[in-house]
Amino acid sequence: MAAANILREWREYVPLEPLFLAMQDPNKRVRSAAKWALVDVGAHAPQEALHPHLTDPDAEVREAVLYALGTRAPVAMVLEALDVPEQGLCAAATYLIGLLGEHVPVETLLTMLQSRNAHIRVAAARLLGNVEEQRIPLEPLIEALHDPEQSVRLEAIWALAKSGERMPQTELRALLDDTDQLIQREATKVLASAGDPEALSIIVGWLHADHEWARENALVWLRTPLGAVRNAIVQRLPIEELLHLLKDAWWPVGYMAAGMIAMLGENAPFTELHALLSDPLPQARRAALYALAFLGDDVPLSRYIPIESVLIALDTEDIETRRQAAKVLSSFDIPVPVERLLPHLEGENVELAGLIARQGRQEGIDILVANLRTSFRVDYALAVLGELGEQAPSEPLLAELHASDISVRQGVAATLYETHPELLPQLVPELVETLCTGQVGPLLEPLQDIQIAQALAALRSTHPNLLSWFDQALDSPSWEVRMWAIIGSSQMAPHGLEPTIEKLQRLLDDPESASVREAARGALETFARRTATDEHRE
């Protein structure tokens, strides 16, 4: 399964046939991993290699091939698959029909809207919202507002939202009192996007709810579905309604409000955001930095925000504020003075390390590599290393292909695809061998030890043989094996563990992994508590 998940990221370097073979594996999880590998690898394969499998007797194979073909899939076959009993294949066809919308005649969509199958009506309503604004047929969609299936009604609401000045506001306004709260909510959002005063007033009320979870939920509602409706609502709302949420004590509210403000692009309230960078409330400073970080993806921040204000934010004691300041600085389109950054470089701030690494400094790269060997900051480290291209060191990345976390393995594989594609032809054969035969080579051998360590730690047993195994595993070259050996050792009684305790004390300064150091600290604290308890009982 690990082999399949890694191969999934290497696309044109991976042969298709081993993936088809792996979809016959007796293990369901392996078949699933092979299927999604086939989807991603097949997307880069020639059509002629996939088309023969469209008639495979296995519905999961046909499903994977349809996903892999995407817009290259035959329209007739996709339409046929909409009405099959196999749920996975039907879901693939429903997804693809959305991609193929412009190739499906409106008349066909109107016929689909009358289907007995709800998922076909859902697909039809969704596609009708994707035709040209002036060609969206209103009457069938207005009728669909009263469909017995909630999902059809929702798609009809969203489709009508795209009809511009022709939007039937009277019919949508009737849904503001609908007994279905989700229908009521989505109709409110659509009407607000068109500037309806009543709908906008309802949304402002959501944002002023007394309970923080209610305010958070209101912002979640406004963020979904994505697209034009959400952007239009933000442009219609008074900006002060979002700015006051940046000071909310409940951080998810400030974070999501920052994301909403960022949708305004160059029309965002930069003066107010700049003022919040020196606000006495830490949550306000963080939320302003969130907004600027989001805006920095599309807007040249140096035109609106003086860089010195963001550099000052690096001096705060709050690590989350420092991280967000580093993210904002990485969006500036002017050089950031690296000498001002180096004094703030620390192990956990991979955002700042990334900013320094992007300027070619080894100090930043070293911090990113160190965070590959942790269980908490690895994702961002991988993302930045991927941006460095061939400047990213390959050996630490290769070493983490055997990580226990599937998302880390896939992240490392994706990063190697971006940074060192020349290595992939050498690595693929070993993983194909593992996928097809179960024979494990050097790339994944450490994963076996990690899984053994996890399993033995889960036993929570004080058996002497286990104690001996964990003691030896504390010297493993794999940081994850050492970490799980520490966790397993911490389940043991403290007496008779002097050599193990000495190793744990040395691992407090483990040179490779912060996660190992943290686990060692926790284990020693556990031993100390147990010893004190035993002495008290005596």
- Would you call 434 exposed, middle or buried from its count of C-beta atoms within 10 A (0-12, 13-18, 19+)? buried
Give the CATH number for residue 240: 1.25.10.10
Final residue belonging to a domain, choices 285, 311, 336: 336
What are the residues whose beta carbons fall under 8 Å from the beta carbon of 210, sequence distance 6 or more?
none
From residue 173, how far is each of 167, 195, 229, 263 by CA, in Å? Answer: 11, 12, 16, 26
Identify the pLDDT of residue 533: 66
Give the CATH number for residue 454: 1.25.10
Distance CA 195, CA 433 (A): 60
253-262 tens-digit pLDDT: 999 999 999 9
With respect to residue 135, please indicate whether it lies within any of the assigned structural domains: no
Final residue belonging to a domain, choices 313, 336, 359: 336
Identify the pLDDT of residue 320: 86
Overall number of domains in the chain: 2
With respect to residue 290, please indicate whether it lies within any of the assigned structural domains: yes
Q: What is the CA radius of gyration of the chain?
A: 28
Cα 474–chain centre separation: 33
CA angle in degrees (0–180, nearest 5) for 69-73-75? 160
With respect to residue 162, please indicate whether it lies within any of the assigned structural domains: no
Identify the pLDDT of residue 109: 87
Final residue belonging to a domain, choices 311, 336, 361: 336
Q: What is the DSSP letter of 392?
A: S
With respect to residue 10, please indicate whether it lies within any of the assigned structural domains: no
Identify the pLDDT of residue 404: 93
Whether the per-residue pLDDT at 219 is higher than 70: the answer is yes
pLDDT band of residue 318 (cuts 50, 70, 90) is confident
What integer is the mean pLDDT of 57-74? 95
Beta strands, E only, 399-483: none
Whether the per-residue pLDDT at 54 is higher than 70: the answer is yes
The range of the structural domain enclosing residue 457 comes to 450-538
Identify the pLDDT of residue 226: 57
With respect to residue 341, please indicate whether it lies within any of the assigned structural domains: no
Whether the per-residue pLDDT at 108 is higher than 90: the answer is no
What integer is the mean pLDDT of 195-201? 94
With respect to residue 242, please indicate whether it lies within any of the assigned structural domains: yes
